[in-house]
Amino acid sequence: MPATLSRQLFLVWVLILAGCVGMAGLLFAAWQQSGSMQLAQARQTLDTDCASLVARYNGASADARSESLANGLANVVVQLVLADQDGIEGGVWDNRTGFVAYAYPTYQGSGSKSDVPDAERSNLVTTAAAALSRHETVGYTRSGKRESLLIAACPIDAYRAGWTMTHLAHAPGRSSGLFAAAAGVLLALALASAGALGAIMRRWSRRFAAVEHALANSDAIPDLPRTGAPELDRLGETVVGYATRLAESHREAATLATHLSRHERLASLGRMTATVAHEIRNPIATLRLAAENALAITPEALSPTTHASLDLMLAQVGKLDALVETLLRMVQPVRVERTEVNIAGWARRVLAELDDRQTAVALRVGDGASTWSLDPAQMERAVDNLLRNALRHRAAGSIVNWSIETTDGRLVMIVANVGEPMSQEVRDHLFEPFATDRIDGNGLGLALVRDIVEAHNGTVGHAWHDGQTAFRVELPWR
């Protein structure tokens, strides 16, 4: 089971707590070791002072150590040895007469202290007697809750033993204060880390809850709130970006499905139209032949009304034939045979096909549009449709502008005229077959233009601005 964020943070806190407990244990051990070291140092000092006391006493002359002067010598020696030893008192004990010397030069109380402490007499006697019986330095230690008593006794001769004594306080001192401070810091660290991790967990839980709520209540592109956490906000931006791209893909898929359905209908209509057009070509040819024969064989026998009717029939049959021809071309793929064409000469030939209406067209060929690779016949059909369409819809007395130039490696032709805009319905299906707002139009011209331009790997578009309609054709070199 994957670990949740709260579980991971809890494990992190457990590791921090374990580290703090370990550090506290090490500090406690160090503090205890510090107390033991203090006892050892105090013991060493007492032993050294006791040995110094014996050495000085035995270093005096024999006369000074005589029975009558021995006690006075002992007092002087003890006073000299302990003069600089803070908190240490000492003396000499005789197993025959008891305590014969005592001194506490560094006593901190009022006055001077000259009496052996009654509370420690028995301990002093026992330790001194043990030193005399063992003929070696003997130590005594008694640890209490508040202080430790340390005694050292050294044999001077067969009857006398020197001793030193000190009280080592257990009251909180510098080392215990440092230990308490360190333990407090570790405890505070453990508690602070727990509080910080808990706050982080609560804050992230609220942020995740806000993002989760926004995602759960969004039908399309979610509106994720800013959380203030850069990592989570970047993740939210990525999710929104993905949702946006997904929505765009869905829209594009729906649009493509609509276009595909329309194209399938148009393809079916095209196949049906081609079949119908093919089937009616023979009847149309028969009608034309009959009308032409009637006009040619007996023109003098025809009344003016009959003659006019036959002329009208031929005109209408011609329109039907042109429509059928256009329909058949629409359902056939456009085959392009490219060749390098002199654009200026080709454009003049296209205008010449307009007969007397070419004077209403203003041609402008840019300097860069000298030669281009295209199918001159197919492109002439496309441009002829655009020019005739512009001439048909131009405002009275205006001219049609046809410009040819090169831009970014593409041949650009623009056919523009001043006139009323097309309806929105026609613009939506402008380059589809049968899209027209003319009563006498069939809506096939612009569809043919699109097919020819796309066969050249080009594009064709329409725009209306400031009362002017413009068709723009762009062709690549290949």
- Please give the Cα distance from 226 to 232 (Å, whole number): 9
pLDDT classification of 31: cutoffs 50, 70, 90: low
- 1-10, 142-151, 177-186: least confident range: 1-10
- Please give the Cα distance from 464 to 462 (Å, whole number): 7
pLDDT computed for residue 342 by the predictor: 92
- Please give the Cα distance from 321 to 309 (Å, whole number): 18
State the sign of the Cα–Cα–Cα–Cα dihedral 297, 300, 301, 303: positive
Q: Is the pLDDT of residue 1 over 50?
A: no
Q: What is the pLDDT of residues 175-198, one digit of tens each?
A: 566 666 777 777 777 778 777 777
pLDDT classification of 125: cutoffs 50, 70, 90: very high
Q: Is the pLDDT of residue 331 over 80?
A: no
Tokens, residue 13: 């806190």
- Please give the Cα distance from 417 to 361 (Å, whole number): 9
Share of the chain above pLDDT 70, in %: 83
- Please give the Cα distance from 367 to 344 (Å, whole number): 10
Q: What is the pLDDT of residues 456-470, one digit of tens each?
A: 899 999 988 888 999
Comparing 281 with 1, which gets the higher pLDDT?
281
Q: Is the pLDDT of residue 153 over 90?
A: yes
Q: Is the pLDDT of residue 144 over 60?
A: yes
| Whether 443 contacts 434, CB under 8 Å | yes
pLDDT classification of 3: cutoffs 50, 70, 90: low
pLDDT computed for residue 134 by the predictor: 92
Comparing 434 with 89, which gets the higher pLDDT?
89
16-37 burial string, b = 16+ CB within 10 Å, else e? Answer: bbeebeeebeebeeebeeebee
Mean pLDDT of the chain: 80
pLDDT computed for residue 171 by the predictor: 47
Sequential DSSP letters for 111-157: S---S--GGGHHHHHHHHHHHHHHTS-EEEEEE-SSEEEEEEEEE-S
Sequential DSSP letters for 180-218: HHHHHHHHHHHHHHHHHHHHHHHHHHHHHHHHHHHHHT-
State the sign of the Cα–Cα–Cα–Cα dihedral 208, 209, 212, 217: negative
Report how far apart the first and last C-alpha atoms of the chain are (Å, whole number): 61
What's the predicted TM-score (pTM) here? 0.41
| Whether 168 contacts 150, CB under 8 Å | yes
Q: What is the pLDDT of residues 192-228, one digit of tens each?
A: 877 777 777 777 777 777 777 777 777 667 777 776 6
3-class DSSP assignment, residue 400? strand
The β-bridge relationship of strands 371-374 and 400-407 is unpaired
Distance of CA 437 to the CA centre of its chain: 54
pLDDT computed for residue 284 by the predictor: 76
pLDDT (mean) for 326-340: 73
Length of the chain: 478
- Please give the Cα distance from 221 to 242 (Å, whole number): 9
- 107-121, 179-193, 350-364: least confident range: 179-193
Query: Comparing C-alpha atoms, which of 218, 229, 144, 193 is closest to residue 20?
Result: 193
Enter the DSSP assignment of 63. Answer: T
3-class DSSP assignment, residue 410? strand
